[in-house]
Structure 1
Amino acid sequence: MDTIKHNQAAWDKKVEDGVVYTKPVSKEVIAQSKRGDWSIKLTPTKNVPRKWFPTSVEGVKILCLASGGGQQGPVLAAAGADVTVMDISQKQLDQDKMVAKRDGLSLRTIQGSMSDLSCLEAEFFDVIIHPVSNLFVEDIQPVWKEAYRVLKQNGVLISGFVNPLLFIFDDEEEMQGNLKVRHSIPFSTLDPMSEEERKKHLAAQETIEYGHSLEDQIQGQIEVGFVIAGFYEDNFGGTRELDPYINTFMATRALKVIHL
């Protein structure tokens, strides 16, 4: 099956259902950003450190990759950046367009997969913002490779992703307060399902998610040429059983440096 096409439809449905990651920022947030008081999140609770960005983002070419929903892109555009938002879901991109129209912002939207940036020029962007989203593609190596290609020399890739530990536990058991190890990594949400469960999952247009290894997440960036220059961890903000024990999200700042 075409999992990318399936997840596209699933994210369109999430917008219709009003889930948290599809809710655009408010007019107040945009007004603050225009005054230079801005921040963005790539993981559930922590802001990306401002020192990970240029001192000023005025005129900085930023690609918000798999980042629709009217959140990161409009904030950065309001701060003065030259923003392109790319997402598989047109309805997520419509949220960015709505904020841009509402608040007088200029940004570009492109519908497409994070694994294929062939429509974008090589060495064009200064910064790529990539929130927790590569769990929706089976192979993340093309994501890192394409990100490296479209960044300028000394460009920056700022990525959030899931600690694969999150996927080893039985999800239904965890919701009942029990941490029961059931799955191995790499992982797909379809792996433990029976044929009947798969049919129901797909018919309900639920997303298909993939638990990628830390080697694929971190060494994968290094292998295409990035140098990891920043790191932090995050969690669900105390709403999940694992939160008291370990952080289940992380973010990296990677540089496209000139290799001699």
Structure 2
Amino acid sequence: MTHDTAPEPAAGPGVERRHVSDAESALASRRWWDADADAYQAEHGEFLGDCDFVWCPEGLREATAGLLGPVAGRDVLELGCGAASAGRWLVAQGARTVAVDLSDGMLRHAVAAGRRCGVRVPLAQADALALPFRDGVFDIVCTAFGAVPFVADSQAVMREAHRVLRPGGKWVFSVTHPMRWIFLDDPSENGLLAVHSYFDRRPYVEHDAAGKPTYVEQHRTLGDRIRELVAAGFALTDLIEPEWPEGHDGIWGQWSPLRGRLFPGTAIFCSVKPEQPTPDRAQPA
């Protein structure tokens, strides 16, 4: 979920838009979430719950949306699980669930939350670009704002999800709605003015005084995401843009009732690995 994108001078710690490698992204993400885990859970833990599956700051819950379909008896992988509240909810619904995250700090909170609520999920520290699982072992792969926005090669995440899924398996993930990158990360009226190009794919990068990335978040257009899915072998089944619900007055970073009632803040991509490989399209004569 993005940070304020107002430009700052490159000298010293600051913010910029520039390309970074997967290695730089992974190192920055691991260090950022290890350092931020306590503060993140203190601020958002109550909203996310210890054993609940919340797709987005709009408050859409899997219990209501049913985007994964029936999960009881299914093998499920949660990518970028954070404190794994969604993974524990899946276990409570009867799913055989494994949750992975790059950050040891977030997994520490996952262990603590499992002890608090009495629902535990197997955890693994892993990079979404190189999942430690055999081919075709899961029925569902899912993530709520995990992994996908934080890697330079998000196409590779799609391929890994496709690899570990069985034929007919589902891959569902939520990210910041791409159109939000047009605006500053400001929940007030100041965040209603378009200031960035939607087509600027350079990631948002916070860097230290030496210029090393300390936080990296990637932008892709809606079309980019769909092409990534299709290229990996998935069929897109739905694209959910949750509306801001009445009575929800919470603010989460740049998400707010003011902005949420005017334009979407989250995109949830629902896809399936076909039962049979998709045949190559016939080439024109």
Shorter-chain TM-score tier: 0.7 to 0.9
1:233 matched to which residue of 2? 241
Shift of 1:114: 1.4
User: Is 1:163 aligned to 2:185, yes or no?
Assistant: no
- Change in 2 beyond 3 A, CA 1:5/1:21: farther
Give deviations 1:109-151, integer Å, cap 9, x for gaps. Answer: 111111221x111100111111123111122100000000000
Secondary structure, counterpart of 2:111 in structure 1:
helix
Distance in 2 of aligned mates of 1:173 and 1:127: 34
Letter in 1 for 2:239: F
User: Partner residue of 2:11?
Assistant: none
SS of equivalent residue, structure 1 residue 76: helix
SS in 2 for 1:101: helix
How far apart are 1:240 and its partner, in Å?
Answer: 6.6
Unaligned runs of 5+ in 2: 1-22, 249-254, 280-285
Are 2:75 and 2:95, in contact at CA under 8 Å, matched by a contact in 1? yes
| Matching of residues 37-56 of structure 1 within 5 Å | 40-45=53-58, 46-48=60-62, 50-55=65-70
Of 121, 131, 151, which residue of structure 1 is paired with 2:134?
Answer: 121
Supply the RMSD in Å over aligned alpha carbons.
Answer: 2.8
Partner residue in 1 for 2:103? 89
Report the 3-state secondary structure (helix = DSSP H, G, I; strand = E; otherwise coil) of the residue aligned with 1:43: coil
Larger deviation, residues 157-166 vs 17-26:
17-26
Change (3 A) 1:173 1:127: closer
Partner of 1:4: 26
One-letter code of the match for 2:273? Answer: K
Aligned equivalents of 1:96 and 1:176: distance in 2?
Answer: 36
Q: In the alignment, which residue of structure 2 is the partner of 1:16? A: 38
The letter of the residue matching 2:142 is I
1:217 to 212, 222, 225: 225
- Aligned AA (2:207): R
**1:152 positional shift:** 0.7
Instruction: Give the Cα–Cα distance (whole angstroms) in 1 for the partners of residues 29 and 133 of structure 2.
Output: 22
- Percent pairwise identity: 20
- 1:99 and 2:121 aligned: no
Deviation for aligned residue 1:162: 2.1
Distance in 2, Cα, partners of 1:224 & 1:17: 36
Tell me the distance in 2 between the aligned counterparts of 1:42 and 1:173.
19
CA gap of 1:84–1:164, structure 2 versus 1, over 3 A, is same
Q: Does the CA contact (< 8 Å) of 2:185 and 2:191 recur in 1?
A: no
Residue number in structure 2 paired with 1:151:
165
Q: Which amino acid aligns with 2:167?
A: Q
Residues 173/93 of structure 1: CA separation in 2 closer, same or farther (3 Å cut) = closer
* Structure 2 counterparts to residues 137-216 of structure 1, below 5 A: 137-171=151-185, 176-177=190-191, 179-183=193-197, 184-190=199-205, 198-199=207-208, 207-216=215-224
Structure 1 contact 141–216 (Cα < 8 Å) conserved: no
Higher relative contact order (CA 8 A, sep 6+): 2
> Structure 1: how far apart are the matches of 2:37 and 2:29?
12
- Where 1:62 maps in the other structure, the secondary structure is strand
State the Cα deviation string for residues 202-249 of structure 1 (Å, max 9, x = none).
78x852111112222122111111111122103676617643331121
SS at match of 2:215: coil
Distance 1:155 1:143 in 2: 15
Instruction: Say whether the 8 Å CA contact 1:65–1:128 is kept in structure 2.
Output: yes
Q: Relative to structure 1, is the Cα distance of residues 235 and 110 closer, same or farther in structure 2, using a 3 angstrom cutoff?
A: farther
5+ long unaligned stretches in structure 1 = 31-38, 191-196
1: CA distance between counterparts of 2:45 and 2:128? 17
